[in-house]
Every structure is written in structure tokens, then in C-alpha cells.
Chains A and B, each alone.
Chain A
Amino acid sequence: MRKEDIYKNIKELLVPVGAIALGLLVGAIIILMIGGNPIEAYKALFIGAFGDKNKIANTLARSTPLIFSGLAVAFAFRCGLFNIGVEGQMFVGALAAAYVGANVTGLPKVIHLPLTVISAMLAGGLWAAVPGVLKAKRGVHEVINTIMMNFISYALIAFLVTDVLRAPGQTPRTVGILPSAQLARLSELVNWSNSRLNTGFLIGLAACAVIYYLLWKTTVGYEVRSVGLSPMAAEYGGINSNQKIILAMVISGALGGLAGAERILGFDRALILGFSPGFGFEGIAVALLGRNHPVGVLLGALLFGALSNGGAWMNFSTDVPVDLIVVLQAVIIFFVAADQIVRRLFPKKKKDWGVV
């Protein structure tokens, strides 16, 4: 890597790292204000997230859907699109995975599992294609449309899971995924673990690599990024902007569908209504924190997963309420979004201001 590139990468890291430091600082003040001990709380948070092999596994498991949803948001953003609908795309992906994974019988695992995963990606991609087409052909703003599509998917999933696909019992859930479509859990592979971390995490890592390659090493990726920077200029340069917008939405939606597939096929092994605490929306925060770069998204997802799982331990071993985690996440995002605050605290030369 050239010297300038290294500087550039450090600069990229500055805002997220500074924001996390400031976030923890503000969190510490809040803990002090409610009469807690910040160092004890943060120690508990760290132990809860990385204290032993199982805790690390659980943290990775909690991060996995965020890798997909973060990538989904980041990819769309690279094309200048703000995809708020990852949650909905994840739901329809989950629905497809739950249906194909439980109801298509008689297939060997090498066919059934990929088929199920691909159907989840297709469902998510098609769901996202609707706002994509509307944006490209009619100029309807994707923020509005993806939000609206979220509501439709909530209603759809609630209706189908409570009435049509429901398994017997109190909890509204579908019947279990067949073994031939399950992603292997860590607890099934090794003796020492009881974690529900599954091979979906590896798919997540692969997805990061694929998206990186796609965006920076292929023509399509170049075109997508060009449209993101300036659709008009891209058009002038011979790129079909509308086509790229639809493509970006479909890929983004497919990633959202993957997030659902991992939960359904690996973590829960059934579609349980309410399985997502808002992974799609957390993905927006993760993408923001990760500067819309696959590696950043991966790190952001790990941070959010660690905060979430460490929070449970912190809640148990100290008096600090678990809601502090939400405050921490919010403050970190606040400082990332208001990056000028961080940049002012760590000032640099005027001529760099244009570079983001």
C-alpha cells in the first residue's frame, strides 16, 4: 500500500473510533450519574461479550444478521440509495426460507440448503426490486417506498405465520426446518459449545469479500459507485443509471434476505414471530459506523453484537440497567453522524475537508 493510502485509511478510521471513544465516555458519565461504577460496568460488558469461548461464539452469532443487513444498507448507499427497507426484505427472505426449508421434502442437503438460501435471496431481492423500479422509472423516492414495503411485509408475515403456516402451540411460529436445509450450529460441531452460532457467519464473511470484490474490482461495481457519486455524470459517461439503481436495490434486498435465512435456518430453526429485534434498522447504524465499506460493516456488526450480548451480563452482574446499551449505541451513532464534532476535536488541515 502506498503511504497516502495508509494515511487515508487511518483518516477513515478516525471518525468511527473517535465516536466509539466519545460514546463510551458519555456512557460512563451516565453510569456515574445513576450511581454506578463505569469501569465495573464496562468490564462486565467486555466479559459478557468476550469472556470465554461460548461468549465469543454468542457475540458472533448476534453479529451475523447485522453483517448481512449492514452490507445491504452499505451496498445500496454506494449507489446513492438509502434502503430503509432491509427489515422488510429480511422478513420476506425469512418467510421464503421457512417455507422452502420446511416444506420441500426429499432433497439431499447439497441441493436443499442452497435452494433454500437462494429462495430467501430471491424473495428479498424481488421485494427490494419494487422500490428500485419505482425509483428508476418514476423517480419515486426509495426512502418512502422501502418504509411502506416494511409495513406490508409486517402484515404479510403476521398473517401467514399466525394463520396459514402456523405450527401447533402457544407461540406463533412455523414448523421446524428440515435437517436437510439447516445450517450447522457450533454446538453440533464441537463438544464445548452450546452456542447457536452457525455456518451462516461464514456466509457473512464470504458476503463481505464478495461485495468488496464486486464494488471495487468489477465494472459493474465501478458503475454502481459512479451512479452513487453522481447519476448525471455517470449517465454522461455512458452508464445506464436506472439499470444500476434497480440492480443495487436487488442485490441489497438479496443481502437482506440472507439475514433472514441465517436466523431461520441456523439460529432459530423455525420462523418465530418477533425473531428480529430490528436487525434491519440496526444494519443502517452498522453501515454508517462502517463508512459503507464491507470491512467497516464487519467491524461495526461485531461491535453491535458485542454491546448487545455483553449488555445482558452487565445487567446481571452490576446494577446498570440493560437500556444503557441502547443509549451507548445511540450516542456512538450520533457522533458518527455528526462527524464534524469528532473532526473538530481532532482537527486537521483545511484542504482535507472535502475528502470523506
Chain B
Amino acid sequence: MFKVSKKLALVLCLVLLSSIFLTACGGSKTEEPKVEEPAKVEEPAAKALQVGIVLSTGGKGDKSFNDAAIAGLEKAKKELGIEYKDIEPREMAQDEESLRFLAEQGMDLVIGVGFLMEEPLRNVALEFPNTKFAIIDAVVDEPNVASLVFKEHEGSFLAGSLAALMSESNTVGFVGGMKIPLIEKFQAGYEHGVEYINETEGKDVKVVSAYAGTTGAAFNDPATGKELTLSHISKGSDVIYHASGGTGQGVFEAASEKGKIAIGVDSNQNWMYPGTILASMLKRVDVAVFNTVKSVLDDNFAGGLSVFGVDNDGVGLTDLENVSDLEKSGVDNDQAKIDQMQELKNSIPAEVRTKLEDIKKKIISGEIVVREE
């Protein structure tokens, strides 16, 4: 008998523990409706546009691709009064479920970030023909999907031209993330830019290239990025461009340690290592996202392909002359760091800037056709 009661005590202990836990939580629940009520009154008046976004793995805080998409939505929230919800899938296999989930919630627009979303987004877009979708960096040929792609090669051409014009050692480097056609587009444009300067300026600049890996992890591998950059520098590179997401941190670190120059990518990264990053090749994911949201709001959303290139400022270099407000706020308005950035920008001769403007015009007019591979 004693044995049984002992066991009973154990079970009771468990029940007690869970009941403490439940009542503790129950207490906070009674307060809940009071907080929510005023918010619910406001809702029907506003009836904001609902946007759902599924970020690529890496998620928020990558200081590059995902953050740019979120920045676009934040801007839309502020200026257009929309509401958005984001999902950061922890694993690739949840992409499809996450997209479907947002569509089921009755979102007006569902955005998928990154080329890995291509197949999942196609499946879900077919299931929800009345929901609007957008995908970044991939093409999904369905009437209710807007495919937002970028001419990364054009922006990289400008980066390559800048690197070749600034190089004193006549060797420049490229560090890619994952070896896929998308990133090879960056490399092709960069190399083409260098070749163009070699032809027109009579220089003889070489390009050394390397990739961090073959899986998604290659976009978040600063240690490898640093090793590759150090190896580029040992081969004589004095300007290094990267297209490798978070791996770029290592690129900047190595360049900064060795006193070389780096070129950032996707977002404005110039403030991350003041005095090291000469410029960044912007890929205006934020603009693309904002414009798409606006088109839904203005009721002129159109499925199909939207291409962002140098001509519509979808890609391009950061300001080469003055330190921008964004760069200032990036370093918390630290004057010493702002001076460092300004000093680096001052090292770009005025004639280099005019040459780059010239190249930009030639790309827009079609006089220069940048190769993609």
C-alpha cells in the first residue's frame, strides 16, 4: 500500500507543477482582453493592406538581402500605411508551408525572398490563383506572380570598373558565396568591367576569383571569406569585391587588417568598416518590394517579369563623393569614423567619378552590353 501512495505522490507532484504553471499563465490571460480592445476598435477604420513575406534562411539581421526586403516593407508601412507579417523559416523544407500559410491567412500580397523559393512559390501560387505573389531573384511564370529580378551584372560592371581604375597593383579580387549561376553573374559583370577599363585605359588589371562553397552555408561563412581574401591579397590584389552575404564580414576584416580596399554588396555596407569599404554595389531589393506593394495598393499590380537594372536605379554604386546620412547613422554619427569614410571617398579622383558616370550612361544607352556569364 505504501508503495502505491508513494507513486501517487509522484504523479500528484507532476499535476501540481503543471497546475501552478497553468494558473500562473491563466492570471495574465484575464488581463489580456483589456489591452486588446482599443486596438480592435481602430482596425475596421483603417483596413490596411496586408502583406506577408517569407524571408530566406539567414533571416533578419543579415545586413544585406533580407534586411533590404524588410526595409522596403518598413518604408511602405510608414508611407503607405500597410501592415506586414514576416516569417523566418528555420529550415528550407518549411518554405512551401510558410508561403501557403500566409496565403491561407488572406494576405493581399505574399512575397518570397530568394531563388530557393522558386518551386515552393510556384506550387502555392497555383493553389491560390486569387492571391497576389511576388518573388525576388527568380522567375515564376504565373499570371498572379510578379517576378522581381536584378541585373546584378550591370552593377558589378560598375564595381569592376571602379576596382580596375583604383587598383595600383593591377590585380583585383572577387569573393563569391555559393557557386550558383546567380552569383556567377556578379563575377561575370565584375570581370567584364575590369576588361573594359583595360581596353579603354590601356591598363593590364588581372582578376582573381574564389567561392566560399556550394551550399547555402557559403553565404554565412566569414571565416572562409577571410581566408579567401587573404589569399587574394597574397596574390597581389588591392581591391576586393564580394557577393557573398554574411561571408563578406570576413572579406572586410581581412582587407581592413591588410590595409586594402573592399567593395560591399546588396545593401550599403560602407559604414561596417570605415576606411576600408570604398563603395557598395547596391541591389535595391527595398525599392523593388516597395514598388510592388505600392502597385497592389494602387490597384495596378501586374504579374510577370520586372527587371531592375542601372537604367531604373535598381542596381548601382553608392555615393562616391560624400558620406550619406545612412552611412553616418550606421556609425552612430561618430565623427572620427565619418572622417575616415570621407577620407576614403576623397581618394577617388574626380576623373574616375566622371568615367564611371560615363560608363553608366553607356550601359543605359545600350552602348555597353554587359555579359551575364
Contact = CB atoms under 8 A, between A and B. Distances in A.
B368 interface: no
Contact of B21 (A24, A273, A277): A24
Contact of B93 (A194, A277, A315): A277
B101 A312 contact: yes
Interface string B23-35: 0111011001000
A158 B216 CA distance: 11
B101 A316 contact: yes
A263 B92 CA distance: 12
Interface in B13-46: 13-14, 17-18, 21, 24-26, 28-29, 32
B89 interface: yes
Contacts of A25: 17, 21
Given A172-B180, A277-B92, A39 B26 contact: yes
Given A162-B214, A171-B119, A312-B101, A39 B127 contact: no
A348 interface: yes
B115 A171 contact: yes
A58 interface: yes
B321 interface: no
B26 A194 contact: no
A274 interface: yes
B297 interface: no
Contact of A346 (B3, B13, B119, B217): B13
Contacts of A28: 21, 24-25
Nearest to B217: A274
A312 B55 CA distance: 12
A18 B14 contact: yes
Given A277-B92, A316-B85, A349-B6, A37 B214 contact: no
Given A17-B14, A170-B138, A346-B10, A39 B93 contact: no
A322 B90 contact: yes
A21 B181 contact: no
Contact of A348 (B10, B14, B181): B10
B156 interface: no
Interface string A324-356: 011000000000000000000110110000000
* Secondary structure dominating the interface of B: helix
B47 interface: no
Interface residues of A, number: 47
Contacts of A311: 90
Most central of B6, B18, B91, B102 by chain A CB within 10 Å? B91
Given A40-B32, A194-B100, A14 B90 contact: no
Interface string A49-72: 000000000100010000000000
Interface residues of B, number: 47
B205 to A, nearest CB: 30
B88 to A, nearest CB: 6
Interface string B165-189: 0000000000000011110000000
B94 interface: yes
Interface string A27-48: 0100000000111101000000
Interface of B: 3, 6-7, 10-11, 13-14, 17-18, 21, 24-26, 28-29, 32, 85, 87-94, 96-98, 100-102, 105, 115-116, 118-119, 127, 138, 179-182, 213-217
Interface of A: 7, 10, 14, 17-18, 21, 24-25, 28, 37-40, 42, 58, 62, 158-159, 162, 169-172, 194, 196, 263, 267-268, 272-275, 277, 308-309, 311-313, 315-316, 322, 325-326, 345-346, 348-349
22 contacts: A10-B7, A10-B11, A21-B17, A24-B21, A25-B21, A37-B32, A38-B25, A40-B29, A62-B93, A158-B213, A170-B118, A171-B115, A172-B214, A273-B215, A308-B91, A312-B90, A312-B94, A312-B101, A315-B87, A315-B88, A316-B102, A349-B6
Given A159-B214, A162-B214, A348-B6, 13 more contacts: A14-B14, A25-B21, A40-B32, A158-B215, A171-B118, A273-B214, A311-B90, A312-B87, A312-B90, A312-B101, A322-B90, A346-B13, A349-B6
